[in-house]
């Protein structure tokens, strides 16, 4: 796996994820999501399905690159949480710094995980 996958997180599109003119909110994300879940449960189910598809795709990619299934699933969940959390932070802070930091740490984590994967045969 190349750095391209993690570099995408820090892609210039981050400016659209972290607009400098976003409205500040008095609610934190978990409060807003809970209210959405109560008022419109179909939105929560839809979001959960998107997260599940993303995590499944990442976990499958990690497994194809030699990581054990459970390790791949944990990494996929962690990456999804780190990216989503950093997007929320960068919107609140009106800065891409949190997303850039998350991308750098995810890159380092994946490099380490892939360099230290168990030897189970030929690697792609």
Nearest to 85 by CA among 21, 17, 11: 17
Where do the domains of the chain lie? Answer: 29-115
- Which pair of structure tokens corresponds to residue 45? 């189910």
For residue 106, what pLDDT band results from cuts at 50, 70 and 90?
very high
pLDDT above 90: percentage of residues in the chain: 51
For residue 2, what pLDDT band results from cuts at 50, 70 and 90?
very low
CA distance 58 to 79: 9
pTM for the full predicted model:
0.72
- Angle at CA of residue 118, ends 51 and 60, nearest 5°: 25
The mean per-residue pLDDT over the stretch 2-6 comes to 47
């Amino acid at each position: 796996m190349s750095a391209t996958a993690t570099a995408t997180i820090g892609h210039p599109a981050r400016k659209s994820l972290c607009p400098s003119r976003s409205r500040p909110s008095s609610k934190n994300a978990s409060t807003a999501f809970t209210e959405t879940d109560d008022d419109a449960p179909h939105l929560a189910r839809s979001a959960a399905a998107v997260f599940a598809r993303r995590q499944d795709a990442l976990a499958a990619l990690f497994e194809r690159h030699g990581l054990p299934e459970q390790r791949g699933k944990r990494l996929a969940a962690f990456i999804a949480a780190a990216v989503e959390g950093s997007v929320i932070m960068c919107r609140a802070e009106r800065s891409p710094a949190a997303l850039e930091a998350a991308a750098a740490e995810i890159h380092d984590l994946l490099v380490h995980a892939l360099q230290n994967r168990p030897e189970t045969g030929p690697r792609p």
